[in-house]
Structure 1
Amino acid sequence: MGLPLLPLLLLLLLQGPQIGAQEGILHASRDGPPPSSKDYCITYNSSWTSLPTTLSNATYYRLENLSSLWLCSSSDVPSTGVKDKALAVLDGNCSILDKASIAQKNGAKLLLIVSKNGLVLPANNRSAHKDLTIPIAFVRYGDMISMSQSLGNSITVTLYSPALPPFDYSMLVIFLISVFTVALGGYWSGLSELKDIKRRRAWPSFRKMQREDLRPSPSGGEREGRRKKDDNVTFTPVIVVLFVVICCVMLLLLYFFYMWLVYVIISVFCLASAMSLFNCLSALIQNLSCGRCRVSCCNKSAEVRLLFLAGFCIAVSVIWAVYRNEDRWVWILQDILGIAFCLNFIKTLRMPNFKACVILLGLLLLYDVFFVFITPFFTKNGESIMVEVAAGPSGSGEKSGESLVEVPAESHATQEKLPVVIRVPRLEYSALTLCGMPFSLLGFGDIIVPGLLVAYCRRFDVRTSSSSIYYISCTIAYAVGMVLTFVVLTLMKMGQPALLYLVPCTLITSSVIAWKRKEMKSFWNGGGYEIMEHVDNAANEENNIITHDEPQEAQ
């Protein structure tokens, strides 16, 4: 896995905050005999509209169902008027803010946008509509039909949004997953480093062993005991800068061509996660005694247990791909594949020195801040590019101000989302189950990017016999950064880019430890990594010499 595959790392770079929209409940009731009521799911922009948290504090309005009209001009308003009523109009043909402006001028108190494309996220630039105060919410076209059939034509409606619990246990689960993955990935990287050191210390005998192991075996194939190629990839400062540039380009491509590229990302995730799960599980079963027998085919041989393991990993990835939009249980598979994906990358991608770590984390922090906080000043709808990509095309339906494509009935296909997050359902938030299962999210990048620094600290501990002081300190700093992220998330009631807190915590802690131990120079330059790279190059050169000389020796 080398430089040509770096664009695949876009999978780990969506650390943007969650969209500003929230889900709420439309409560519809009928007074006439017999009295009846039903609840329906809605979406609304919490920065535009503040809804009561309980039904007892909500205000009811008589519903004027104009779901066959767009309300793009005052001529669509019925002659009977809509004063002090809740107005339901069809989505499309003009901006939802233009609809809201017409409804408010005619005295309506509530605007329901009836969507045939499922529930979308209200997003637009309100700078030209600062006088709007009318609440705006999206409701499904199928729900409006069900409402008319169940409750008739004389309906009163109201909106409310149950408050989130003071503590969400899903945050604790995400905290444990992220810290566990970072700590285990760093430790695994350290074990790989320790094996490399032992191999290099045995260098004199290793050269002789190489010459013997690279000779052809009597059966005509190469010996099974030959030295395996190192799968680690070193991130030099030049590759780091190129990596960030590629990520910026790929994010912009996703912003403009999401409908097509989302399936490319899903395919890449299936392949990469299956390979990562295989690498993680194969490392665990190496010490097992069962299944060591081998099967041969086309001059290749493999252990039976590894073949079964490969089939299992492929099956898990395929099952996730088939049922990826099933919220009830498939999030477990996505999290398992995501953890394996992050572990494999933390172990495989090696940072050569602290300088490369600072460049990588610093550039990605700027990347995060720019695409989350700066890009809203350049987009037409005032939303950040990161949020638009995370939300998908449904979140950017008003981006160009053009008409939405009309369909004869509501589409039941779930909106495709990028599989680049750890998802945990909000266990204590059951009031909105009719809207589907709400999730707390953490991007892969918020695990892998700081995890690369933790892995470097572990490798440096191994090289310098530092009793894991750098590794433990950086892991604790990552945990503190996650706690700080959750605290700010709870106080501000909106999603946060976690790298904004993780990068300073981990970089500052690592720097302080190196300064206190008076090892900043070797920590900054990578300690013995330059010597190790020189030894590796010498080994590769001798391998080439041995390989070229082998036919002559055979003669």
Structure 2
Amino acid sequence: MAAAAALARLAAAFLLLTAQVACEYGMVHVVPETGGPRGKDYCILYNPQWAHLPHDLSKASLLQVQDWTASVLCSPSSLPAKGFTNQLPMVARGNCTFYEKVRLAQGSGARGLLIVSKEALVPPGGNKTQYDEIGIPVALLSHRDMLDIFQTFGQAVRAALYAPKEPMLDYNMVIIFIMAVGTVALGGYWAGSRDVRKRYVKHKRDDGPAKQEDEAVDVTPAMIGVFVVTCCSMLVLLYHFYDQLVYAIIGIFCLASSTGLYSCLSPLVQRLPFCKCRVPDNSLPYFHKRPQVLTLLLALLCVAVSVVWGVFRNEDQWAWILQDALGIAFCLYTLKTIRLPTFKACTLLLLVLFIYDVFFVFITPFLTKSGNSIMVEVATGPSDSATHEKLPMVLKVPRLNTSPLALCDRPFSLLGFGDILVPGLLVAYCHRFDIQVQSSRVYFVACTIAYGIGLLVTFMALALMQRGQPALLYLVPCTLVTSCALALWRRELGVFWTGSGFVKDLPQAAWAPASADGPQPRPDSDTAPSQQPRAEEPAPSPRPAEQSPEPAAPEETGHAAPLQEPESSAGLAPEPTGLPGPSA
């Protein structure tokens, strides 16, 4: 029974998909009846199948607005005694169909109909016969805009309905493209280079500042499962309890972004040739390590930037610049810290999040009462939210066109952090693999270009469909197929898939290893203990600076050291030339 009900619901969803009514955003231009302030535009949602609206305001007729919102206009008794001759009535939504309302309005002489809604705006639909019968436009206006109209202009107003054309793409897409591709490229390059540098540091057993950097976290299949379940749960909770959880997300973003900003700027500050002074000796926590004063000032600056954004986050004129800067720093920090060890793990993560993104954008509209996508609703903020807060986990750039429809559609173009981080982890893996197999960064460049192409395809789909798109639907196939095809063409798919190129810490050629039973090292080599010393020459004593801090083997002197080395290194990789080992 449950399966049959699920199939019936799915069939109904597909029927709804094929029977979607056409809807477009338009504008109602309101002016006072007798002079006064300048006119103002308000957003409306209309169905062009009832009647088309002119694209130019100069071609639209100014009509007297009749406030009839005390009535829902569902019966002839609801009509005024004098009718709506050459007027534009406003009526309340509810109790009957859109067709019944507009039929009564048209029969009483109205030139159009505005239906005021306290709920989310939905397209006013009907059937083909009803569309042919009606010859006046009908549109939905939000209750909040209706109140603003009468508070601003008074009760005597005139209005004109029109639908200006909007360009398919906005120039802000170029800015988002540059930020996204630049973040992926820089983050992937930084993560790969940092990973290889840490391998050298590990071999040298360096206890300096480089070793004290944050360790990278290898992602396992279990972690991927937990992560996806957490994302799904958090998204559903935000959809149902948005006003209660949005401030927690804002606080987490402030903390994480300030940490990411410090992580990005700290390497640059440490290279400055001045202000190397440190905190005086003290017993305070953390400060007893005597950090540099410059790093403390940098930490305060990063926290201050995050706090300033948190206080002024709703200032649409400039706060988006701080949000994007903090968001890019957060993405770079995450790409540096999170590491996918194999292409198999990359494929698993990207495919699972691919399904997750498509489900919450395209499938959830058929499962919610409002018919809205859970992903889009949460990313842009619910229309009925009491706080009117927006989630900060996106890059946002304001629209650069001057179309009045910016009031209706979202005034910002958005790109979620997940659309940067998920493909960016694959780009970082490709860069590490490039360095490991010495392939002149061919994987890194190809995957970065594929990401850019996938993002362009996303923008094209957004322009053609005029609705929010799951970017991973286009980014995942582009990056995965490109990386896999390149590995297959180079005949490295096996090691690329399993990450077996990372089993060895470093390429053998770079270290010039000396084997106990292999060829003898060069005469000028510093590894005298690995050679057979002459009887009249004593074995060189170990230098204190090269002693290993790990008690791997007891220190030997004289002729005993070379005799013990074959036993201690049997079955293991030979020690690199010039590095401290157990028989220094």
Q: Secondary structure at the match of 2:138?
A: coil
Out of 510, 513, 535, the residue aligned to residue 483 of structure 2 is 510
Offset of residue 386 of structure 1: 1.5
Offset of residue 111 of structure 1: 4.2
Distance of 1:251 and 1:451 partners within structure 2:
22
| Number of positions where the alignment pairs a residue of Structure 1 with one of Structure 2 | 473
Distance of 1:234 and 1:472 partners within structure 2:
23
Q: 1:443 to 1:437 in 2, by over 3 A?
A: closer
What amino acid is the match of 2:45? Answer: Y
Stretch deviating more after TM superposition (170-179 or 39-48) = 39-48
Offset of residue 489 of structure 1: 2.1
Matched, 1:245 2:229: yes
- 8 Å CA contact 1:70–1:90 kept in 2: the answer is yes
Q: Secondary structure at the match of 2:39?
A: strand
Offset of residue 308 of structure 1: 0.8
Deviation digits for residues 396-419 of structure 1 (CA, Å, limit 9, x no counterpart)? x8xxxxxxxxxxxxxxx8711111
Offset of residue 330 of structure 1: 0.7
Partner of 2:196: 194
Stretch deviating more after TM superposition (228-237 or 337-346) = 228-237
Out of 388, 394, 398, the residue aligned to residue 421 of structure 1 is 394
Distance of 1:434 and 1:136 partners within structure 2:
15
Deviation digits for residues 57-78 of structure 1 (CA, Å, limit 9, x no counterpart)? 43544311134x2628546554
1:123-522 correspondence to structure 2 within 5 Å? 123=122, 134-138=138-142, 140-149=145-154, 153=156, 155-165=157-167, 167-202=169-204, 206=205, 227-228=211-212, 230-295=214-279, 296-297=281-282, 298=284, 299-394=288-383, 415-429=388-402, 431=404, 438-522=411-495
Q: Secondary structure at the match of 1:193?
A: helix
Offset of residue 112 of structure 1: 3.6
Q: Secondary structure at the match of 2:470?
A: coil
Distance of 2:265 and 2:23 partners within structure 1:
39
Q: 1:254 to 1:144 in 2, by over 3 A?
A: same
- 8 Å CA contact 1:124–1:381 kept in 2: the answer is no
Distance of 2:240 and 2:129 partners within structure 1:
28
Deviation digits for residues 330-378 of structure 1 (CA, Å, limit 9, x no counterpart)? 1111110111111111111100111111111111111111111111222
Offset of residue 300 of structure 1: 3.4
Distance of 1:472 and 1:168 partners within structure 2:
28
Distance of 1:545 and 1:115 partners within structure 2:
77
Higher CA-based Rg = 2
- 8 Å CA contact 1:186–1:451 kept in 2: the answer is yes
Offset of residue 103 of structure 1: 2.7
- 8 Å CA contact 1:392–1:415 kept in 2: the answer is yes
Distance of 1:156 and 1:511 partners within structure 2:
62
Offset of residue 473 of structure 1: 0.3
What amino acid is the match of 2:105? Answer: G
Partner of 2:40: 39
Q: Secondary structure at the match of 1:441?
A: strand
In structure 2, stretches of 5+ residues that fail to align are 1-21, 132-136, 507-547, 553-584
Offset of residue 504 of structure 1: 0.6
Stretch deviating more after TM superposition (433-442 or 510-519) = 433-442
Distance of 1:372 and 1:263 partners within structure 2:
24
Deviation digits for residues 229-275 of structure 1 (CA, Å, limit 9, x no counterpart)? 64211111221122111111111111111110111111111111111
Q: Secondary structure at the match of 2:262?
A: helix
What amino acid is the match of 2:141? Answer: A
What amino acid is the match of 1:330? Answer: A
- 8 Å CA contact 2:26–2:46 kept in 1: the answer is no
- 8 Å CA contact 1:27–1:157 kept in 2: the answer is yes
- 8 Å CA contact 2:74–2:101 kept in 1: the answer is no
Q: 1:143 to 1:522 in 2, by over 3 A?
A: same
Partner of 1:407: none
Offset of residue 193 of structure 1: 1.4
Offset of residue 167 of structure 1: 4.5
- 8 Å CA contact 1:457–1:471 kept in 2: the answer is yes
Distance of 2:375 and 2:48 partners within structure 1:
18
Distance of 2:292 and 2:307 partners within structure 1:
23
Deviation digits for residues 71-121 of structure 1 (CA, Å, limit 9, x no counterpart)? 285465544434664232467xx58xx5745532422554445578xxx85
Offset of residue 503 of structure 1: 0.7
- 8 Å CA contact 2:90–2:114 kept in 1: the answer is yes
What amino acid is the match of 1:445? Answer: G
Q: 1:389 to 1:126 in 2, by over 3 A?
A: farther
Identity of aligned residues (%): 45
Q: Secondary structure at the match of 1:106?
A: helix
Partner of 1:527: 500
- 8 Å CA contact 1:43–1:121 kept in 2: the answer is no
Q: Secondary structure at the match of 1:294?
A: coil
Offset of residue 474 of structure 1: 0.2
Stretch deviating more after TM superposition (284-293 or 478-487) = 284-293
Distance of 1:453 and 1:503 partners within structure 2:
10
Q: 1:229 to 1:314 in 2, by over 3 A?
A: closer
Distance of 2:49 and 2:201 partners within structure 1:
62
Partner of 2:105: 107
